[in-house]
Structure 1
Amino acid sequence: MNNTKFIQTGGWPLNLERLEELETSFNIFNAFGSLAGNFSIISGCETIGSTVQKGFVYIDGELLEFRPAVVSGTSRVIIIEEAVSRPFQNGSVKQVYTIRYTTFGTSDVSWAWTDFARPIETKLLKGLFDGIAGSFNAITARLVTAENKLATIASGAQVNVQSDWNVTDVNSDAFIKNKIAMLSPFLRVSTFFIGNPAIDQKYTVSFPTVNTSNYLVVAGIKVNNSSQWDLSNDLIWTYGATTATSFELYLREIANQTQSVTLGYALIPL
């Protein structure tokens, strides 16, 4: 910033140039208003009742005094210039000074009071920036996590694919790889009519091949005529001689009664 050295000996040269230099030095203070931004309330201008009090505002690169005025929702800020004249030594009166200030009013050039705002105090910015930095770091961490996750998704991958267990086309989006083979627990489920067994009787139960003789026969005796239940509840059975196409059924009729029964059986692989 420019400065004037007043304290000197030898007769200080006070003239118009020195005074203009002083005004030039003062004008540099207008630059501070840009820190707050255009249409900023630099200080004062508190509203008491319906009046905005004295203060200072910044408009288009110039720091200006604001003089008290009654405010409304449509108030507009204008700049007023007042010329100050003084008599010269030769007796003439000329303008020597211009007073510029703002207030509410009507003019060809004006600005809405609602556009003016107070800036944040610079001493509060550190805490604000610290909060922003913390939020920024948290957001950055979440973005990195999301990017890493997205990097694991193959190009062209689809969403909401309806997988189908029965699809066998390996090129289909619904195809399921590495399915576990789900086999029926039974090699065969069927029936064998016995009729009226003798006291001791052996039957061969034959069927289409089940490709193994290593199985368990799970069976039950069904009474074909429920009214003969008391004649058919004296049967004992076992089985043996299992092959891929048959097994032998061994029956013993304890009471040797006339009856009609059927064997229901299932073959479970071992």
Structure 2
Amino acid sequence: MTPAAFSWPEDDLELGKPGGDEEPKISYGPPANEPRKTLFQWSYGTTFSGGPPVDDDLQTDRPDFVEASTTVGKGVLQIESGYTYIRNNDPDDNSITHSAGEVLFRYGVIEDWLELRLGVFPFSQSQSVPSPTVTNQGLDDLYLGVKLGLTPQEGWFPEMALVPQMTVPTGNKSVTADKALAGVNWLYGWDVTDFIAIGGSTQFNSAVDGETSQRYIEWAQAVTINYNLAEKVGGYTEYFGFYPSGASTERVQHYVDAGLTYRPTPDTQFDIRAGIGLTGNRSRAWEQ
């Protein structure tokens, strides 16, 4: 809270008495009796906008890698689901993976800026290299998280959210990390014009080396450009990459993808995307 400005009394005039020179106090918070929609506010500006899109179309974390920098709002349950096909042409790991369901539950509790998150990801994988072909199916490790709506956008100061998150080792033995892995995801975005919005994601997560089973820290960085193509149609293009630190065999990976969204109603969205890996021998493509 910024302290109110004031002037010293002139001559023998006293503040609070007739003829005094006290200036009115200025409030830098939301209007009286209106709850905060974000945990903090930029000290620049006094609009106190932002927060959950209660009166607008829903904002989803899918289909791009960069998740929404808003929460769903107190008392709101939002369910997101999808199907992904992944083909991996790595000479050491030639595989096809289907993931149907990919359910993410998002529920706002206590305040508009607080969201609980739970993700369940079924999969079916067929791996032909090394031979013979092996097929696995089941559930990946359970995802748990909390999203905190930090700030609204104020000019060029971004809208921001923070997601402490983790996976717990509940998955199929072929894919489970066998360890609880924690991390944090910093989300930020700007509405540039009515046509274009830019979003970013910076994550630091614990991960497990696939060959040595040792823990390491993985930095994931992403940027996405979103477009309003029509009243109910949107699109995006995106880059994201994974940068391991302390891993014995894991290497840097780069990806690009693009997609379209369609909202027939304010509370319903359908989307499709496609992408490809760019790193070395790892030619990895997916569709959804």
Q: Whose strand proportion is higher, 1 or 2?
A: 2
> Which TM-score applies when normalising by structure 2?
0.19
- Structure with more contact order per residue of length (Cα contacts < 8 Å, sep ≥ 6): 2
User: Larger helix proportion, structure 1 or 2?
Assistant: 1
Q: What TM-score do the two structures reach when normalised by structure 1? A: 0.19
